[in-house]
Homo-oligomer: A and B are copies of this chain.
């Protein structure tokens, strides 16, 4: 159990380190506290023994450890007031459009990325959680048509396909068969259902079934397994912890890896903080995430930044966005 003074010191160190990005000295702290630097140093030793602080070398100031950040987030942090400018800019986005939730989300996260210099991620539900709700076909000309796939979680995708020497009627028959028979199937499993339930039927009723079947099979095969949007990738490069080339490569590569990002998905309704090793993306980053639910759509939003990220501010921003999205 930490004493009040230890908590104060830890809190100050975390806050100062977040602000200045370099090890915090006893001197800096003692100015804010009514005691001498020597006293602060003694407490620092204690906090270091408890695993909450670290040194970069023997005679350096202190830096919070992961456990230190964790303690801060769990016990010391107090959600920051959002500043007026941030709020105003976000309001403009939310007010402006009565339409297009997903654009709205993306724009607001873009704004947050630009303001904070962190990276944002918008994550739809994974394909195994999306069920096929409806498919639709729009003919373009003799050979080309657009196939539109709609899921129950509000995810929509379209593909332009070419089907030669097949009449539109036949395609439409197939579409209505699919809409009658396999709606409600998780997107992941549609391809196989197509094979075992639809293929035999269209084999009998539909001319040119081979080519039509193949096309739809492909469409569902190609349906994105994960629906990810990464916003403000480059902003994070401004953070001093990412100012060496190898680290940049590593982070950017991970941010482009859909499989890794899929891990970010969460079911938890709260705002959750995953510091360093607590997340699966990278030991040097913190991910703060939450989910949103609207009648027509649901998904996850996350902010990725260095462990030294401004927890108070990001939590406040996410809370604000979440509540605005949901109404």
Which one of B102, B138, B141, B252 lies within 8 Å of A234 (CB-CB)? Answer: B252
Q: 8 Å CB contacts to B: which residues of A134-156?
A: 134, 136, 138, 140-141, 143-144, 146, 148, 150, 154, 156
The reply on A237 being an interface residue by CB < 8 A is yes
Residue of B141, B143, B146, B244 near A156 (CB, 8 A) is B146
- In the complex, the answer to whether B252 meets A245 with C-beta atoms within 8 Å is no
Please classify the interface of chain A as helix (H, G, I), strand (E, B), loop, or mixed, using the class held by over half of its residues. Answer: mixed
User: How far apart are the CA atoms of A100 and B160 in the complex, in Å?
Assistant: 6
- Chain B residues, Cβ within 8 Å of A161: 99-100
Distance in Å: Cβ of A58 to nearest Cβ of chain B: 29
Most buried by B among A103, A154, A234, A243: A234
**A148 adjacent to B158 (CB under 8 Å):** yes
Question: Which A residues between 171 and 193 are near B, CB-CB below 8 angstroms?
Answer: none
Q: At the interface, yes or no: A159 with Cβ under 8 Å from chain B? A: yes
Collect the chain B residues with CB atoms within 8 Å of residue A136's CB: 138
Q: For the side of the interface on A, what is the size category?
A: 35 or more
Contact A102 B237 (CB under 8 A): no
Assembly stoichiometry (copies): 2
Q: Is A97 an interface residue (CB 8 A)?
A: yes
Residues of B within 8 A of A160 (CB): 100-102, 154, 156, 296-297
What residue of chain B has the Cβ atom nearest to residue A256's Cβ? Answer: B234
Whether the Cβ atoms of A234 and B253 lie closer than 8 Å is yes
CB <8 Å contact, A296 and B100: no
A218 to B158, CA, bound (A): 20
- Quick one: given A136-B138, A148-B138, A218-B100, are A162 and B249 in contact (CB under 8 Å)? no
Asked if A74 is an interface residue, CB under 8 A from chain B, the answer is no
Tell me the chain A residues, 95-125 only, with Cβ under 8 Å from chain B.
97-103
Give A232's nearest chain B residue, CB to CB. Answer: B256
Asked if A93 is at the interface (CB within 8 A of a chain B CB), the reply is no
Is A248 an interface residue when CB atoms closer than 8 A count as contact? yes
Let me know if A266 is at the binding interface, CB within 8 A.
Answer: no
A residues apposed to B, CB below 8 Å: 97-103, 134, 136, 138, 140-141, 143-144, 146, 148, 150, 154, 156, 158-163, 214-215, 218-219, 222, 233-234, 237-238, 243-245, 248-249, 252-253, 256, 296-297
Query: Considering the complex of A and B, which 9 residue pairs feature the smallest CB-CB distances, nearest first?
Result: A99-B161, A234-B252, A144-B296, A243-B245, A237-B249, A99-B218, A136-B138, A234-B253, A100-B159
